[in-house]
Amino acid sequence: MATMLDRGQIRRIDGGITAPKGYRAAGIHCGIKAEARDLALIVSDTLASAAGMFTTNLVKAAPVLLSQEKIQSGAAQAIVVNSGNANACTGAQGWADAQEMARLTAQALGVAEEFVLVASTGVIGIPLPMASLRAGIARLPEALSRDGAAAAEAILTTDAFPKTSAVCLDLGGATVVIGGMAKGAGMIHPTMATTLAVLTTDAAVPAPLLRAALRQAVDQSFNVISVDGDTSTNDTVFLLANGRAGGAPLTEDDEAFARFTEALTVVAADLARMVVRDGEGATKLVTVAVRGARTPSDARRVMSAVMTSPLVKTAIYGGEPNWGRILAAAGRSGAALVPDLVEIAIAGIPVVRGGLGVPEALARAAEAMAQSEYEIVIDLHLGSGAATGWTCDLNEGYVKINAGYMT
């Protein structure tokens, strides 16, 4: 079925996090990292509706716990983010430091502390260098601008490149913009949020609807990606909506709300795919599409098992159409499966029919796997359940990065 993006009703634009009206951002170097930018600030000119989703890991960083508490109000105006240090597993001092980050940011901006959210990303278990952060936060307001590029750079850790996206669409006579930025290359897996991301919009969306839209968008983006099967202590996705585009607030039964949610999902999916493409050491971005499952949850089980299989991921790296690894992963997923019914295609080339390999297709499939992007389609022929996710290859680069991450 054609989407609004296909029909041109959602239009991709430049600008990222500051593309919507009424947002400014900054990214500076404060001294957590040796040289690169390591402190970011995103500010709405007015108080905004706010929603967030956070890691399901039971070990949660102090800024996650603090922001989970703050966002219950459904309102926020600023988000301060440091990279290079996760402020996770740092005890009472970590909690106090996260609170101080919010307090100092509020004072620097002249806004209420309760409306400042906090996020951190980086090495776990090391206290924040608060002297550097205090000096850096004081400099952030003067660095604010309508260009969000520096902020997108300041949240990176092992990432190879910044990740930004923005779209616009017409809603109720107003042109609404949605923008976003994300970081992530390792500790990426679909159990929310799998990364750190900030999304902004100038649409007028009440907080309860904003939460619903974010849940749906994340379910089809950040929750269907995997690099390594690990989920961080700091995973966070924030969404702010300040209403500066004009127009009436969206309502639950309004068609405009469904259109807004679809556009939000486009931005989130753009960012999620960039996270996988930038997987630590990754050379391939592979879409895993499961069709014909008995239920949607079964389709997700198969998708996740294939996306996270080290054997499948190393075969992707080697360009080897080892369909047995794919079928084996599907079979252990816990989903209903009849081996004799399964069909598998790699890059559009059928390699399994009726549970049996197609030997004459393997050479063509191997050649197609040299592409930097392609699709693996698995059809179980048991029902209408379907799921689509994104994964990458696993190779020596990942090992090298993570064997010396702290040093």
- Are residues 224 and 113 part of one domain? yes
Q: Are β-strands 343-346 and 373-379 bridged in parallel, bridged antiparallel, or unpaired?
A: antiparallel
Q: Does 373 map to a domain?
A: yes
- Are residues 187 and 314 part of one domain? no
How many angstroms separate the Cα of 208 from the Cα of each of 67, 213, 244?
17, 9, 18
Q: Are β-strands 225-226 and 385-392 bridged in parallel, bridged antiparallel, or unpaired?
A: parallel
Which residues touch 107 (CB under 8 Å, ≥6 apart)? 113
pLDDT-derived band at 276 (thresholds 50, 70, 90) equals: confident
How many angstroms separate the Cα of 122 from the Cα of each of 187, 233, 234?
11, 10, 9
Q: Measure CA 179 to chain center.
A: 13
Structure confidence by residue, pLDDT tens digits, 320-333 = 999 999 999 999 99
- Are residues 290 and 345 part of one domain? yes
Quote the percentage of the chain above a pLDDT of 70: 91
pTM of the model: 0.90
Q: Does 256 map to a domain?
A: yes
- Are residues 299 and 193 part of one domain? no
Structure confidence by residue, pLDDT tens digits, 198-212 = 999 999 999 999 999
End-to-end Cα spacing for the chain? 49
Q: Which of 226, 248, 274 is the last residue of a domain?
A: 274
- Are residues 224 and 364 part of one domain? no
Q: Which of 207, 240, 274 is the last residue of a domain?
A: 274
Please state the rounded mean pLDDT for residues 77-102: 97
In this structure, of 9-18, 60-69, 71-80, 183-192, the range with the lowest mean pLDDT score is 183-192
d(CA 126, CA 29): 19
CATH number at residue 256: 3.60.70.12
Structure confidence by residue, pLDDT tens digits, 128-143 = 999 999 999 999 999 9
Domain count, the chain: 2
- Are residues 105 and 164 part of one domain? yes
Q: Which of 246, 274, 302 is the last residue of a domain?
A: 274
How many angstroms separate the Cα of 155 from the Cα of each of 35, 85, 97, 315, 322?
13, 11, 18, 32, 37
pLDDT-derived band at 402 (thresholds 50, 70, 90) equals: low
Q: Does 215 map to a domain?
A: yes
Q: Does 146 map to a domain?
A: yes
**Higher pLDDT pick, 274 / 356:** 356
Q: Does 5 map to a domain?
A: no
Q: Does 397 map to a domain?
A: yes
- Are residues 227 and 83 part of one domain? yes
- Are residues 77 and 55 part of one domain? yes
- Are residues 310 and 270 part of one domain? no
Which residues touch 219 (CB under 8 Å, ≥6 apart)? none
- Are residues 67 and 33 part of one domain? yes
So which residues are the catalytic ones? 194
Confidence at residue 66, expressed as pLDDT on a 0 to 100 scale: 98
CA dihedral 294, 297, 302, 307 (to 10 degrees): 150
Cβ pair 68, 76 in contact under 8 A: no
CATH number at residue 337: 3.10.20.340
Q: Does 150 map to a domain?
A: yes
Would you say residue 2 has pLDDT above 60? Answer: no
- Are residues 234 and 170 part of one domain? yes
Burial of 375 (0-12, 13-18, 19+ CB in 10 A): middle
Q: Which domain holds residue 326?
A: 285-403
- Are residues 324 and 220 part of one domain? no
Q: Does 32 map to a domain?
A: yes
d(CA 351, CA 321): 8
DSSP 8-state class, residue 71: G
